Structure 1
Amino acid sequence: MSKILIAFYSRNGSTEALAKAVAEGAQAAGAEVRLRRARELVSEEVMKAAPGWLENARRMNAAYEAPTTADAEWADGIILGTPTRFGSVTSELKAWIDGLGGLWAKGALNGKAGSAFSSTSTAHGGNEATILGLYPPLAHLGLVIVPPGYADPVMYAAGTPYGATSISGQNATPPTDADLAAARFQGRRVAEVAAVLAPLRG
Protein backbone atom coordinates (compact mmCIF):
# COMPACT_ATOMS: atom_id res chain seq x y z
CA MET A 1 0.00 0.00 0.00
CA SER A 2 1.24 3.49 -0.85
CA LYS A 3 0.39 7.01 0.29
CA ILE A 4 -0.59 9.38 -2.51
CA LEU A 5 -0.93 13.16 -2.39
CA ILE A 6 -3.03 14.74 -5.13
CA ALA A 7 -2.33 18.46 -5.05
CA PHE A 8 -4.47 20.34 -7.54
CA TYR A 9 -5.92 23.70 -8.43
CA SER A 10 -9.33 24.03 -10.06
CA ARG A 11 -11.42 27.05 -10.88
CA ASN A 12 -14.59 25.76 -12.53
CA GLY A 13 -14.51 22.14 -11.36
CA SER A 14 -13.02 20.33 -14.37
CA THR A 15 -9.64 19.71 -12.78
CA GLU A 16 -11.39 18.88 -9.51
CA ALA A 17 -13.36 16.13 -11.29
CA LEU A 18 -10.16 14.71 -12.78
CA ALA A 19 -8.48 14.87 -9.35
CA LYS A 20 -11.32 12.90 -7.77
CA ALA A 21 -11.04 10.26 -10.50
CA VAL A 22 -7.26 10.06 -9.99
CA ALA A 23 -7.96 9.55 -6.28
CA GLU A 24 -10.44 6.76 -7.04
CA GLY A 25 -7.85 4.98 -9.16
CA ALA A 26 -5.20 5.27 -6.47
CA GLN A 27 -7.60 4.03 -3.81
CA ALA A 28 -8.57 1.08 -6.02
CA ALA A 29 -4.88 0.12 -5.96
CA GLY A 30 -4.98 0.16 -2.15
CA ALA A 31 -3.44 3.60 -1.64
CA GLU A 32 -4.21 6.03 1.14
CA VAL A 33 -5.00 9.33 -0.55
CA ARG A 34 -4.88 12.98 0.46
CA LEU A 35 -6.77 15.27 -1.93
CA ARG A 36 -5.69 18.90 -1.54
CA ARG A 37 -6.61 22.12 -3.36
CA ALA A 38 -4.13 24.98 -3.74
CA ARG A 39 -5.45 28.37 -2.69
CA GLU A 40 -6.00 31.58 -4.62
CA LEU A 41 -3.32 34.25 -4.77
CA VAL A 42 -5.62 37.06 -5.91
CA SER A 43 -8.22 39.12 -4.10
CA GLU A 44 -11.94 38.39 -4.08
CA GLU A 45 -12.41 41.52 -6.21
CA VAL A 46 -10.31 39.97 -8.96
CA MET A 47 -12.16 36.67 -8.62
CA LYS A 48 -15.54 38.37 -8.99
CA ALA A 49 -14.55 39.45 -12.51
CA ALA A 50 -14.79 35.84 -13.71
CA PRO A 51 -18.30 34.38 -13.34
CA GLY A 52 -18.43 31.56 -10.82
CA TRP A 53 -14.79 31.78 -9.72
CA LEU A 54 -15.43 33.10 -6.21
CA GLU A 55 -18.38 30.77 -5.58
CA ASN A 56 -16.47 27.73 -6.80
CA ALA A 57 -13.42 28.69 -4.75
CA ARG A 58 -15.48 28.96 -1.59
CA ARG A 59 -17.10 25.58 -2.22
CA MET A 60 -13.85 23.78 -2.99
CA ASN A 61 -11.91 25.43 -0.18
CA ALA A 62 -14.57 24.19 2.22
CA ALA A 63 -14.29 20.69 0.78
CA TYR A 64 -10.50 20.34 0.57
CA GLU A 65 -7.63 21.34 2.79
CA ALA A 66 -4.76 23.30 1.26
CA PRO A 67 -1.66 21.22 0.43
CA THR A 68 1.25 21.57 2.84
CA THR A 69 4.89 20.60 2.90
CA ALA A 70 3.93 18.00 5.51
CA ASP A 71 1.60 16.40 2.94
CA ALA A 72 4.46 16.14 0.45
CA GLU A 73 6.78 14.64 3.04
CA TRP A 74 4.08 12.12 4.07
CA ALA A 75 3.42 10.90 0.54
CA ASP A 76 5.08 8.09 -1.39
CA GLY A 77 3.76 9.64 -4.60
CA ILE A 78 2.69 13.16 -5.59
CA ILE A 79 0.27 13.79 -8.44
CA LEU A 80 -0.17 17.39 -9.56
CA GLY A 81 -3.29 18.69 -11.32
CA THR A 82 -3.91 22.09 -12.87
CA PRO A 83 -5.93 23.89 -15.51
CA THR A 84 -3.88 25.59 -18.19
CA ARG A 85 -3.25 29.30 -17.86
CA PHE A 86 -2.02 30.70 -21.14
CA GLY A 87 -0.57 27.29 -21.92
CA SER A 88 1.11 26.76 -18.58
CA VAL A 89 0.60 25.76 -14.95
CA THR A 90 -1.54 27.99 -12.74
CA SER A 91 0.25 30.34 -10.36
CA GLU A 92 -1.75 28.88 -7.47
CA LEU A 93 -0.32 25.38 -7.87
CA LYS A 94 3.13 26.66 -8.80
CA ALA A 95 3.25 28.75 -5.62
CA TRP A 96 2.77 25.60 -3.55
CA ILE A 97 5.46 23.78 -5.54
CA ASP A 98 7.81 26.72 -5.02
CA GLY A 99 7.30 26.36 -1.28
CA LEU A 100 8.85 22.88 -1.29
CA GLY A 101 12.41 24.23 -1.30
CA GLY A 102 13.05 23.11 2.26
CA LEU A 103 12.18 19.52 1.37
CA TRP A 104 14.34 19.77 -1.76
CA ALA A 105 17.29 21.00 0.31
CA LYS A 106 17.25 17.91 2.50
CA GLY A 107 16.37 15.48 -0.28
CA ALA A 108 13.11 14.53 1.38
CA LEU A 109 11.28 13.86 -1.89
CA ASN A 110 14.02 11.88 -3.65
CA GLY A 111 12.77 8.61 -5.09
CA LYS A 112 9.06 9.26 -4.67
CA ALA A 113 6.70 8.83 -7.62
CA GLY A 114 5.52 11.96 -9.41
CA SER A 115 2.91 12.58 -12.11
CA ALA A 116 0.69 15.34 -13.52
CA PHE A 117 -2.67 15.94 -15.22
CA SER A 118 -4.37 18.97 -16.72
CA SER A 119 -7.54 20.47 -18.16
CA THR A 120 -8.20 23.33 -20.53
CA SER A 121 -11.16 25.11 -22.08
CA THR A 122 -10.03 24.86 -25.72
CA ALA A 123 -9.03 21.92 -27.88
CA HIS A 124 -5.45 23.08 -28.29
CA GLY A 125 -5.19 25.16 -25.14
CA GLY A 126 -2.00 23.63 -23.82
CA ASN A 127 -2.85 20.46 -21.90
CA GLU A 128 0.25 18.57 -23.03
CA ALA A 129 2.49 21.63 -22.67
CA THR A 130 1.21 22.19 -19.15
CA ILE A 131 1.81 18.60 -18.07
CA LEU A 132 5.28 18.60 -19.62
CA GLY A 133 5.91 21.94 -17.90
CA LEU A 134 5.38 20.22 -14.55
CA TYR A 135 7.98 17.55 -15.28
CA PRO A 136 11.01 19.83 -14.60
CA PRO A 137 9.88 20.73 -11.04
CA LEU A 138 9.19 17.05 -10.37
CA ALA A 139 12.69 16.19 -11.61
CA HIS A 140 14.35 18.97 -9.58
CA LEU A 141 12.58 17.72 -6.47
CA GLY A 142 13.97 14.24 -7.09
CA LEU A 143 10.74 12.44 -7.93
CA VAL A 144 10.58 9.53 -10.36
CA ILE A 145 8.21 10.71 -13.11
CA VAL A 146 5.44 8.20 -13.82
CA PRO A 147 3.36 8.96 -16.93
CA PRO A 148 0.36 6.77 -17.77
CA GLY A 149 1.73 6.09 -21.24
CA TYR A 150 -0.45 3.71 -23.23
CA ALA A 151 -0.22 1.02 -20.58
CA ASP A 152 -4.00 0.50 -20.49
CA PRO A 153 -6.59 0.48 -23.31
CA VAL A 154 -8.42 3.44 -21.75
CA MET A 155 -5.49 5.65 -22.76
CA TYR A 156 -6.33 5.18 -26.44
CA ALA A 157 -9.72 6.81 -25.92
CA ALA A 158 -8.75 9.92 -23.95
CA GLY A 159 -5.98 11.73 -22.16
CA THR A 160 -2.37 11.78 -23.30
CA PRO A 161 0.58 9.48 -22.62
CA TYR A 162 1.89 12.24 -20.34
CA GLY A 163 -1.16 12.52 -18.12
CA ALA A 164 -4.95 12.62 -18.00
CA THR A 165 -6.64 15.64 -19.61
CA SER A 166 -10.02 17.13 -20.37
CA ILE A 167 -11.41 19.95 -22.51
CA SER A 168 -14.27 21.88 -20.94
CA GLY A 169 -15.16 24.29 -23.73
CA GLN A 170 -16.59 27.69 -22.98
CA ASN A 171 -19.49 26.23 -20.99
CA ALA A 172 -17.39 24.34 -18.42
CA THR A 173 -18.42 20.95 -19.79
CA PRO A 174 -17.40 18.25 -17.27
CA PRO A 175 -14.78 15.65 -18.19
CA THR A 176 -16.15 12.77 -20.26
CA ASP A 177 -16.38 9.20 -19.00
CA ALA A 178 -13.31 8.42 -21.11
CA ASP A 179 -11.41 11.34 -19.52
CA LEU A 180 -12.28 10.07 -16.06
CA ALA A 181 -11.28 6.50 -16.95
CA ALA A 182 -7.87 7.76 -18.06
CA ALA A 183 -7.54 9.69 -14.79
CA ARG A 184 -8.44 6.62 -12.74
CA PHE A 185 -5.82 4.60 -14.57
CA GLN A 186 -3.22 7.28 -13.92
CA GLY A 187 -4.01 7.21 -10.20
CA ARG A 188 -3.78 3.43 -10.10
CA ARG A 189 -0.50 3.35 -12.03
CA VAL A 190 1.17 5.96 -9.84
CA ALA A 191 -0.04 4.25 -6.67
CA GLU A 192 1.35 0.91 -7.83
CA VAL A 193 4.72 2.36 -8.82
CA ALA A 194 4.92 4.37 -5.59
CA ALA A 195 4.39 1.18 -3.59
CA VAL A 196 7.35 -0.42 -5.37
CA LEU A 197 9.57 2.64 -4.92
CA ALA A 198 8.81 3.24 -1.25
CA PRO A 199 11.00 0.42 0.17
CA LEU A 200 13.89 1.46 -2.08
CA ARG A 201 14.10 4.88 -0.44
CA GLY A 202 15.34 3.27 2.77
Structure 2
Amino acid sequence: MSVNLLIAFYSRGGVTETLALGAAEGARAAGAEVRLRRVHDIVSEEIKAKVSGWKEHSERMIATYGPPTVEDAVWADGILFGTPTRFGNVSAELKAFIDSLGGIWVKGALNGKAGGVFGSSGTIHGGNESTLLSLYHPLAHLGFIIVPTGYADPSLFKAGSPYGATSVSYNKDAPPTEDDLAVARFQGRRTVEVAAALKSAKQS
Protein backbone atom coordinates (compact mmCIF):
# COMPACT_ATOMS: atom_id res chain seq x y z
CA MET A 1 0.00 0.00 0.00
CA SER A 2 1.29 3.46 -0.91
CA VAL A 3 1.99 5.63 2.13
CA ASN A 4 2.79 9.35 2.30
CA LEU A 5 5.08 10.52 5.10
CA LEU A 6 5.76 14.13 6.04
CA ILE A 7 8.91 14.83 8.05
CA ALA A 8 8.61 18.35 9.44
CA PHE A 9 11.61 19.49 11.43
CA TYR A 10 13.54 22.44 12.76
CA SER A 11 17.34 22.44 12.73
CA ARG A 12 19.74 25.28 13.30
CA GLY A 13 23.14 23.70 12.68
CA GLY A 14 22.19 20.51 10.84
CA VAL A 15 22.10 17.89 13.61
CA THR A 16 18.32 17.41 13.68
CA GLU A 17 18.35 17.69 9.89
CA THR A 18 20.65 14.66 9.72
CA LEU A 19 18.26 12.65 11.90
CA ALA A 20 15.44 13.70 9.57
CA LEU A 21 17.41 12.42 6.61
CA GLY A 22 17.94 9.10 8.38
CA ALA A 23 14.22 8.77 9.08
CA ALA A 24 13.48 9.59 5.44
CA GLU A 25 15.90 6.89 4.31
CA GLY A 26 14.15 4.29 6.45
CA ALA A 27 10.72 5.42 5.30
CA ARG A 28 11.65 5.27 1.61
CA ALA A 29 13.15 1.83 2.08
CA ALA A 30 9.73 0.80 3.40
CA GLY A 31 8.11 2.09 0.21
CA ALA A 32 6.83 5.49 1.33
CA GLU A 33 6.75 8.75 -0.56
CA VAL A 34 8.46 11.26 1.71
CA ARG A 35 8.30 15.04 1.95
CA LEU A 36 11.10 16.57 4.01
CA ARG A 37 10.29 20.09 5.21
CA ARG A 38 12.25 22.50 7.41
CA VAL A 39 10.17 25.05 9.31
CA HIS A 40 10.98 28.76 9.13
CA ASP A 41 13.00 30.63 11.74
CA ILE A 42 10.98 33.03 13.84
CA VAL A 43 13.80 35.16 15.26
CA SER A 44 15.17 38.35 13.74
CA GLU A 45 18.13 38.46 11.38
CA GLU A 46 19.97 40.33 14.14
CA ILE A 47 19.63 37.36 16.48
CA LYS A 48 20.68 34.86 13.79
CA ALA A 49 23.79 36.92 13.05
CA LYS A 50 25.01 36.34 16.61
CA VAL A 51 25.42 32.60 16.04
CA SER A 52 28.01 31.49 13.51
CA GLY A 53 26.46 29.69 10.55
CA TRP A 54 22.83 30.04 11.63
CA LYS A 55 21.80 32.28 8.73
CA GLU A 56 23.70 30.21 6.17
CA HIS A 57 22.31 26.89 7.42
CA SER A 58 18.79 28.33 7.52
CA GLU A 59 18.94 29.61 3.96
CA ARG A 60 20.38 26.31 2.71
CA MET A 61 17.75 24.17 4.39
CA ILE A 62 14.81 26.32 3.32
CA ALA A 63 16.13 26.28 -0.24
CA THR A 64 16.62 22.51 -0.13
CA TYR A 65 13.41 21.40 1.56
CA GLY A 66 11.02 24.34 1.72
CA PRO A 67 8.81 24.95 4.76
CA PRO A 68 5.99 22.57 5.69
CA THR A 69 2.44 23.59 4.86
CA VAL A 70 -1.01 22.65 6.07
CA GLU A 71 -1.49 20.97 2.68
CA ASP A 72 1.54 18.75 3.41
CA ALA A 73 -0.11 17.64 6.66
CA VAL A 74 -3.37 16.79 4.87
CA TRP A 75 -1.46 14.87 2.18
CA ALA A 76 0.42 12.76 4.71
CA ASP A 77 -0.70 9.43 6.13
CA GLY A 78 1.90 9.89 8.85
CA ILE A 79 3.99 12.74 10.19
CA LEU A 80 7.31 12.75 12.01
CA PHE A 81 8.16 15.94 13.88
CA GLY A 82 11.81 16.71 14.66
CA THR A 83 13.22 19.37 16.94
CA PRO A 84 16.31 20.38 18.87
CA THR A 85 15.78 20.70 22.59
CA ARG A 86 15.10 24.20 23.88
CA PHE A 87 15.31 24.30 27.67
CA GLY A 88 13.89 20.78 27.88
CA ASN A 89 11.08 21.49 25.45
CA VAL A 90 10.16 21.73 21.77
CA SER A 91 11.65 24.56 19.72
CA ALA A 92 9.35 27.55 19.20
CA GLU A 93 9.83 27.22 15.45
CA LEU A 94 8.41 23.69 15.23
CA LYS A 95 5.69 24.49 17.77
CA ALA A 96 4.59 27.43 15.61
CA PHE A 97 3.97 25.02 12.71
CA ILE A 98 2.09 22.61 14.94
CA ASP A 99 -0.05 25.48 16.20
CA SER A 100 -0.89 26.40 12.60
CA LEU A 101 -2.70 23.07 12.18
CA GLY A 102 -5.75 24.19 14.15
CA GLY A 103 -7.81 24.78 11.02
CA ILE A 104 -7.53 21.16 9.89
CA TRP A 105 -7.66 19.82 13.46
CA VAL A 106 -11.16 21.24 13.90
CA LYS A 107 -12.21 19.37 10.75
CA GLY A 108 -10.81 16.11 12.10
CA ALA A 109 -8.35 15.92 9.21
CA LEU A 110 -5.50 14.61 11.37
CA ASN A 111 -7.49 11.96 13.23
CA GLY A 112 -5.98 8.53 12.84
CA LYS A 113 -2.73 9.55 11.16
CA ALA A 114 0.46 7.97 12.48
CA GLY A 115 2.64 10.43 14.35
CA GLY A 116 6.10 10.32 15.89
CA VAL A 117 8.85 12.58 17.18
CA PHE A 118 12.64 12.78 17.20
CA GLY A 119 15.13 15.30 18.48
CA SER A 120 18.60 16.38 19.49
CA SER A 121 20.20 18.09 22.46
CA GLY A 122 23.47 19.89 23.04
CA THR A 123 24.48 17.84 26.08
CA ILE A 124 23.92 14.46 27.67
CA HIS A 125 20.85 14.80 29.92
CA GLY A 126 20.13 17.97 27.97
CA GLY A 127 16.40 17.32 27.70
CA ASN A 128 15.92 14.93 24.78
CA GLU A 129 13.38 12.71 26.52
CA SER A 130 11.41 15.56 28.11
CA THR A 131 11.30 17.30 24.73
CA LEU A 132 9.97 14.25 22.92
CA LEU A 133 7.39 13.62 25.62
CA SER A 134 6.29 17.27 25.45
CA LEU A 135 5.51 16.71 21.76
CA TYR A 136 3.28 13.76 22.57
CA HIS A 137 0.77 16.21 24.12
CA PRO A 138 -0.12 18.19 20.97
CA LEU A 139 -0.05 14.99 18.89
CA ALA A 140 -2.69 13.51 21.17
CA HIS A 141 -4.82 16.66 20.97
CA LEU A 142 -4.56 16.71 17.19
CA GLY A 143 -5.78 13.12 16.94
CA PHE A 144 -2.62 11.31 15.88
CA ILE A 145 -1.99 7.67 16.69
CA ILE A 146 1.36 8.11 18.44
CA VAL A 147 4.01 5.64 17.29
CA PRO A 148 6.91 5.32 19.74
CA THR A 149 10.11 3.54 18.83
CA GLY A 150 9.89 1.42 21.96
CA TYR A 151 12.54 -1.27 22.01
CA ALA A 152 11.19 -2.88 18.86
CA ASP A 153 14.56 -2.95 17.09
CA PRO A 154 18.10 -3.89 18.25
CA SER A 155 19.27 -0.36 17.43
CA LEU A 156 17.34 0.95 20.46
CA PHE A 157 19.64 -0.93 22.81
CA LYS A 158 22.55 1.19 21.57
CA ALA A 159 21.07 4.66 21.02
CA GLY A 160 17.90 6.73 20.82
CA SER A 161 15.06 6.50 23.30
CA PRO A 162 11.80 4.54 23.52
CA TYR A 163 10.02 7.77 22.55
CA GLY A 164 11.93 8.55 19.36
CA ALA A 165 15.33 8.88 17.75
CA THR A 166 17.76 11.23 19.51
CA SER A 167 21.25 12.65 19.17
CA VAL A 168 23.66 14.66 21.33
CA SER A 169 25.81 17.31 19.65
CA TYR A 170 28.01 18.16 22.68
CA ASN A 171 27.42 21.85 21.90
CA LYS A 172 29.70 21.53 18.88
CA ASP A 173 27.16 20.51 16.22
CA ALA A 174 28.63 16.99 16.39
CA PRO A 175 26.62 14.96 13.87
CA PRO A 176 24.52 11.96 14.86
CA THR A 177 26.47 8.73 15.19
CA GLU A 178 25.78 5.70 13.04
CA ASP A 179 23.94 4.18 16.01
CA ASP A 180 21.75 7.31 16.23
CA LEU A 181 21.00 7.09 12.52
CA ALA A 182 20.13 3.39 12.77
CA VAL A 183 17.38 4.35 15.23
CA ALA A 184 16.21 7.17 12.93
CA ARG A 185 16.01 4.78 9.96
CA PHE A 186 14.08 2.29 12.06
CA GLN A 187 11.71 5.03 13.22
CA GLY A 188 11.00 6.03 9.63
CA ARG A 189 10.30 2.44 8.68
CA ARG A 190 8.15 1.72 11.74
CA THR A 191 6.07 4.85 11.25
CA VAL A 192 5.40 3.90 7.63
CA GLU A 193 4.39 0.37 8.61
CA VAL A 194 1.91 1.65 11.20
CA ALA A 195 0.60 4.33 8.81
CA ALA A 196 0.01 1.67 6.18
CA ALA A 197 -1.91 -0.51 8.63
CA LEU A 198 -4.06 2.43 9.73
CA LYS A 199 -4.74 3.45 6.14
CA SER A 200 -5.72 -0.09 5.22
CA ALA A 201 -8.07 -0.31 8.20
CA LYS A 202 -9.79 2.92 7.16
CA GLN A 203 -10.30 1.69 3.61
CA SER A 204 -11.63 -1.74 4.54
Q: Is the structural similarity TM-score above 0.5?
A: yes
Aligned pairs, how many?
A: 202
Q: Give the structure 1 partner of residue 33 of structure 2.
A: 32
How far apart in 1 are the matches of 2:18 and 2:201? 32
How far apart in 2 are the matches of 1:122 and 1:12? 15
Compute the TM-score of the two structures, normalised by the length of structure 2: 0.97
How far apart in 2 are the matches of 1:185 and 1:67? 23
How far apart in 2 are the matches of 1:95 and 1:170? 24
Q: Give the structure 2 partner of residue 94 of structure 1.
A: 95
Q: Give the structure 1 partner of residue 17 of structure 2.
A: 16
Counting only pairs closer than 5 Å after superposition, residues 27-66 of structure 1 correspond to structure 2 as 27-66=28-67
Where structure 1 has 5 or more consecutive residues not aligned to the other structure, the ranges are: none
Q: Give the structure 2 partner of residue 195 of structure 1.
A: 196
Compute the TM-score of the two structures, normalised by the length of structure 1: 0.98
Pairwise CA distance, 1:35: 0.3
Pairwise CA distance, 1:199: 2.8
Provide, for residues 108-133 of structure 1, a one-character-per-residue CA deviation record: whole Å limited to 9, x for no partner: 01000000000011001100000000
Provide, for residues 62-90 of structure 1, a one-character-per-residue CA deviation record: whole Å limited to 9, x for no partner: 11110000000000001000000111100
What SS is found at the alignment partner of 2:63?
helix
Matched, 1:119 2:120: yes
Q: Give the structure 2 partner of residue 179 of structure 1.
A: 180
Q: Give the structure 2 partner of residue 81 of structure 1.
A: 82
How far apart in 2 are the matches of 1:24 and 1:72? 19
RMSD: 0.8
Pairwise CA distance, 1:200: 2.8
Q: Give the structure 2 partner of residue 133 of structure 1.
A: 134
How far apart in 2 are the matches of 1:181 and 1:163? 12
Report the residue type matching 2:60 in the other structure.
R
Pairwise CA distance, 1:59: 1.1
Report the residue type matching 1:165 in the other structure.
T
Pairwise CA distance, 1:201: 3.3
